[in-house]
Amino acid sequence: MPSFEEEVRDGLASEPRSLPCRFFYDEIGSKIFEEICELEEYYLTRVERSILRDRADEIASAAPANATLVELGSGSAEKTRLLIEALIRKQITLRFVPIDISRSALIESSEGLLLDHRALEIAAICAEYDSGLRILDKAAGSPRMILWLGSSVGNLHKPQAADFLARVRETMEPDDRFLIGIDLRKERDVLESAYDDSLGVTARFNLNLLARVNRELAGNFDLAGFRFRAHYDEESGAVESSLVSLRDQKVEIGALGLQVPFREGESIHTENSYKYSLEEIDTLAAEGGMASEARWLDDDGRYSVNLLRPAD
């Protein structure tokens, strides 16, 4: 996996310019994202939590017997608590393997969970998804319930999403299951409000990516010289996020020996958030070597939690 330095060099030298969204989540970015999750406009976290709260026992019943719970991008594991509690009710004890790039988030969430649940054992992995999956066998036995919440799959272009599901599938045994939260297609105004909130928290989240370049790579981005933009493309189903230069300017990144000129109106692409129809979810699962076994929606049909099994 390319490093932050490599991705910044390549992304800012490319046309159009881009920075990968996986670098949003340094310690500061992770805390800002927690703020986003509490915003009224950002329905995803609230609706996904409601599905897990209302259907936790049903989801736990669909998990393999005596399953180890594995979570990709566990973060604060706040929503995961609902499944942890349901699985402990079902099988008395539980091994939980959270995988996250934030060591501080892993420590904080693990300490809190262990304090509240004596029947819980935690083997945390501080790594990106692919690295964590490669060492998963050493930390988690089988059968497993692998969890990927927050519609994080939406950050991947659809061919990349299918490739990632295929890599997850390679780690799975026939009895393992993959539980994935996926946001659904809906009205433009709802989606654009969710990704460009009235308080400007999502804008601050994106601008922190430039601030991270300044902090870690001796950059001199003027954050006031860029504005955040979110646009929903109905054909692709993607909410496209970018930072737009407000003037002609040059940015120097000292650690890379790089000077980047920007024209007024030129943008840095930061993230795509793809939304799916139910049919597109089934297609994604099939392309990743899996099949849909069960699905749970909120009452308004805005969001889905999908249980996938390895395809025959």
> pLDDT (tens digit, 9 = 90+) per residue, 246-272?
999 999 999 999 999 999 999 999 999
Structure token pair of residue 122: 């935690």
Tally of CA atoms within 13 A in the half-sphere of 36 that contains its CB: 22
Euclidean distance between CA atoms 57 and 50, whole angstroms: 13
Q: List CB contacts of 222: < 8 A, sequence separation 6 or more.
A: 249, 251
Q: What is this structure's pTM?
A: 0.89
- Mean pLDDT over the full length of the chain: 93
Same domain, 237 and 90: no
* Among 221, 234, 310, 222, CA closest to 275: 234
Same domain, 132 and 231: no
Answer yes or no: is pLDDT of 141 > 70. no
For the segment 155-190, what is each residue's pLDDT rounded down to a tens digit? 999 999 999 999 999 989 999 999 999 999 999 999
CB atoms within 10 A of CB 68: 23
Torsions phi, psi for 252 (to 5 deg): -105, 140
Same domain, 174 and 81: yes
Amino acid at 53: R
Same domain, 164 and 232: no
The domain total for the chain is 2
Euclidean distance between CA atoms 177 and 247, whole angstroms: 50
Same domain, 224 and 204: yes
Whole-angstrom CA distances from 310 to 65, 143, 179 are 16, 12, 12
Same domain, 288 and 266: no
- The pLDDT confidence band at residue 103, using thresholds 50, 70 and 90, is confident
Same domain, 145 and 264: no
Euclidean distance between CA atoms 26 and 108, whole angstroms: 15
CB atoms within 10 A of CB 61: 12
- The pLDDT confidence band at residue 140, using thresholds 50, 70 and 90, is low
Q: For residue 53, what are the domain limits?
A: 43-186+276-310
More confident call, 2 vs 122: 122
pLDDT value, residue 108: 87
Ramachandran region of residue 138, left (φ > 0), alpha (ψ -120 to 50) or beta? Answer: alpha
- Provide the CATH number for the domain around residue 82: 3.40.50.150
Whole-angstrom CA distances from 203 to 28, 143, 233, 239, 242 are 14, 41, 19, 14, 9
- The pLDDT confidence band at residue 104, using thresholds 50, 70 and 90, is confident
Euclidean distance between CA atoms 226 and 162, whole angstroms: 33
Answer yes or no: is pLDDT of 139 > 90. no
Answer yes or no: is pLDDT of 77 > 70. yes
| 181 sits in which H/E element | strand 177-183
Beta-ladder partners of 71: 98, 147
For the segment 38-60, what is each residue's pLDDT rounded down to a tens digit? 999 999 999 999 999 999 999 99
Same domain, 154 and 200: no
Question: Where does residue 15 rank: exposed (0-12), middle (13-18), buried (19+ CB within 10 A)?
Answer: exposed
Same domain, 62 and 198: no
CB atoms within 10 A of CB 111: 11
Answer yes or no: is pLDDT of 238 > 90. yes
